[in-house]
Amino acid sequence: MLKTKPFKLVVLLLLISAGASAQINIIPAPLRVKNETGYFSITESTKIQSIPEFKDVAELFAEQASLPNRKIIASSVKPALAIRFVAAKPTDSLGEEGYILNIATKEVSIKAAKPKGAFYATQSLLQLITADHKIPCGQVYDKPRFKYRGLHLDVSRNFYPLAFVKRYIDLMARYKLNTFHWHLTDDSGWRLEIKAYPRLTQNAAWREGKNWKDWRAQGEKFSEAGNPNAYGGFYTQEEAREVVQYAARRGVTVIPEIETPGHSYEVLSAYPELSCSGKENNKESDYNVAKPEVYTFLQNVLTEVMGIFPSKYIHIGGDEAGKAAWKTDPLCLALMKKEGFTDVEQLQSYFVKRIEKFIVSKGRKIIGWDEILQGGLAPEATVMSWRGVQGGIDAAKMGHDVVMTPAAFVYFDYYQADPKTEPEAIGGFVPVEKVYSYEPIPAELTPEQGKFVLGAQANLWTEYITTSEHVEYMEYPRAIALAEVTWSSKQNRNWNDFQRRMQSQYGYLQRLNVNYARPSYQVTIVPEFIYQENKAVVSILSQQSNATIYYTTDGSLPTANSKLYQGPFEVRGSQVVTAAVFAKRDLKGKPITLPIDFHKAIGRKVIYNLPFSKNYQAKKESTLTDGYRGGISYGDGIWQGIETNDLDVTIDMEASVDLNSLSIGFMQLISQGIYLPSYVKVLISDNGTDFKEVVLLNNDIPDTESQLLTKDFKFDLKGKKARYVRIVAQDKQKGYLFVDEVIVY
């Protein structure tokens, strides 16, 4: 008789609910699945049999599943009621990470060419075991679409204990994510023991102010290890090796990141001689790239790092270097003159190429944020494209490998639901459905160029994330969506089916004690404009599976007596769509309203007298008159960025028309350097050359307002007639302006 006690951990930690059907539901979606009738039942008599190459994987599976009999039997023995690990044939074409599962009533067969494939088979199997210890019969043939499937964790801004780092890796591995990007250093703390430079962990690893916000508010001061009010920590080299080994057993590669040449304020606090000023308390965050001692320091650091981490890649950062001190530093200016450089971007390229040469000499490769493209890309560098997708496109077209990690889709420090209901975050808006919608290979690339896209990665920056529980809240279920994006074939991805399969995963996460974000009841209204027919096709999305949604098109609040949403519907002319989720005829969550505006400027040509940002192009020249209003994320592909210059555009109305009113929407999020314009003015012309100012509006919201906000500047044009409408918005702070739509009536 089966004893239940040995299976407590299975029930508590691993299993799908007792009511699971015989259907095989796995995330990420496998390449091919065949459902069959019946179950394989796990009992005390169940044996695990394995070839020697997969013995460690088999042992880990027995441990994770809390099997009553964990002894691994040699492959020469053929017991009944067994879970067998066997070698795949070359003709199975599984590669390093693929697998075949055959589940019958008397045995389970796991076929793989390599241990990683066998491990991923076990992770699929764990998702299928029911609470009464049964596995539905069927066949699975599976292998990944992308070789790089990554999650990033910033441990500089907030430090997390070793045990949690392991848990982080364990959770990502359960969903076949295979690369852990460990962001170990940044302005607010150095987190890895370097024996040659002890002040990195005696001083740069400890700060005043427990959380990042307090540290910033208190003047960004570092402390000393052992001081009563010191906050921080670091990982010893032995602990880091332990993480590497733990990850390797789960098919995960650990890529360490050592930030250079910027984001190094903590280093320059401990070793000020590496800065341009050379002075203590210099408040600088960029290395002096012209000092020989900087290269000596970094080569010594990187030598120790490479001695700990066997990964092919070493991440060298490369992002957001300020470069201001380089413009006046005598050594930097002398180096620029010697090398014939005309700007400091070339200095950054010089630095990156010099660091790359050293790392390549050790048999490794560099990977860096897309700013390493500035001034010319190092010969063998791999680019991590975060400021949109353009950096990845540019690198791939040059024949360089790329990892796509655009903030608008995979920055998990962004809000995932209405900010009013969520813990404080840095801004943005990336709900799980936005993650799931991401396609890593940009349409601008040819099939050959697309081969340089290794995969995708989600990043978690931790300015506002002080606990391990909060990390999990921001990661899940978004990380599961990313797993399917990077593993599953494009044709096998379907949002509705993913939602269906996620229902069992929520129970799985609960049994793993994961503090995941619950599905939101808030809907998303998505119009598709058909300008020539003066209509829009409207879809309404929800994170709830099979949600009951009611909507109106007259601006009134929906009730259970309103129209039931059954699929995309047409709206002709300007209307206001309002929708909400209901359960048993009761309103759940907040109704969402979206005006569908067919205004006079919709679809009209926009001439940019000053350029928009290359990194936040939205829909380029069609953005401001396409009918779409931006949401709460500046990276949503609807908001367009204007970087360090004014907005200056001219709309061609195609004929002289009566101009009654005009409005234009802007965003402010000062934590991201996004400000409202100091003023907006409207000018008109009949010939497109000679413009007359009609009205100017000053901004009345202070630039100290820290919360995310949007503002429509509204103008009364008093029926004036003109063909050309010019709009100028002043960027006083020389940061970013973000603008979504110009509405003219």
Q: Which of 152, 181, 263, 315 is catalytic?
A: 263
Backbone angles phi, psi at 391, to 5 degrees: -60, -40
Q: Would you call 448 a catalytic residue per the annotation?
A: no
As a whole number of angstroms, the distance between CA 597 and CA 741 comes to 10
The residue to which tokens 């010191």 are assigned? 230
CB-CB contact of 257 with 183 (8 Å): yes
Query: Contact 600/655 with Cβ under 8 angstroms?
Result: no
Using CA atoms, how far apart are residues 189 and 529, in angstroms rounded to an integer? 48
Tokens 């450089």, residue located? 341
- DSSP letter string over 708-721? -EEEEEEEEEEEEE
* Other residues' Cβ atoms within 10 Å of the Cβ of residue 559: 13
What span, in angstroms and rounded, lies between the C-alpha atoms of 734 and 239?
44
Among residues 53, 59, 319, 320, the one annotated as catalytic is: 320
Distance from C-alpha of 315 to C-alpha of 381, rounded to nearest angstrom:
10
Single-letter code of the amino acid located at 200:
L
- CA gap 131, 121 in Å, rounded: 19
C-beta of residue 649 within 8 angstroms of C-beta of residue 608? yes
* Residue 345 designated active-site: no
Nearest to 433 by CA among 416, 413, 448: 416
CB 261 within 8 A of CB 328: no
Which DSSP symbol is given to 59? H
- Indicate the helix (H) or strand (E) that contains 202: helix 199-202
Instruction: Measure the CA–CA gap between 618 and 386, rounded to whole angstroms.
Output: 15
Interatomic CA distance for residues 236 and 154, integer angstroms: 17
148 to 29, 68, 180, 476: CA distances (angstroms): 17, 35, 10, 19
* The one-letter amino acid at 708: L
Between the CA of residue 407 and those of 207, 430, 437, 696, 716, what are the distances in Å? 28, 9, 14, 34, 37
Instruction: Take residue 694 and report the two structure tokens written for it.
Output: 């009609």
Active-site choice (107, 142, 154, 186) = 186
Q: State the Cα–Cα distance between residues 398 and 395, nearest whole angstrom.
A: 5
Work out the number of other CB atoms within 10 angstroms of the CB of residue 564. 12
Q: Exposure pattern of 167-199 as b/e (b: 16+ CB <10 Å)?
A: bbbbbbbbbbbbbbbbbbbbbbbbbbbbeebeb
> β-pairing, 107-112 with 99-103?
antiparallel
- What's the helix, strand, coil split of the chain in %, to 5? 30, 30, 40
β-sheet bridge partners, residue 447: none
Is 46:65 a contact under the CB 8 Å cutoff?
no
186 tagged catalytic: yes
Distance from C-alpha of 166 to C-alpha of 164, rounded to nearest angstrom: 5
Task: Tell me, rounded to whole angstroms, the distance of Cα 295 from its chain centroid.
Answer: 32
The set of catalytic residues is: 186, 263, 320
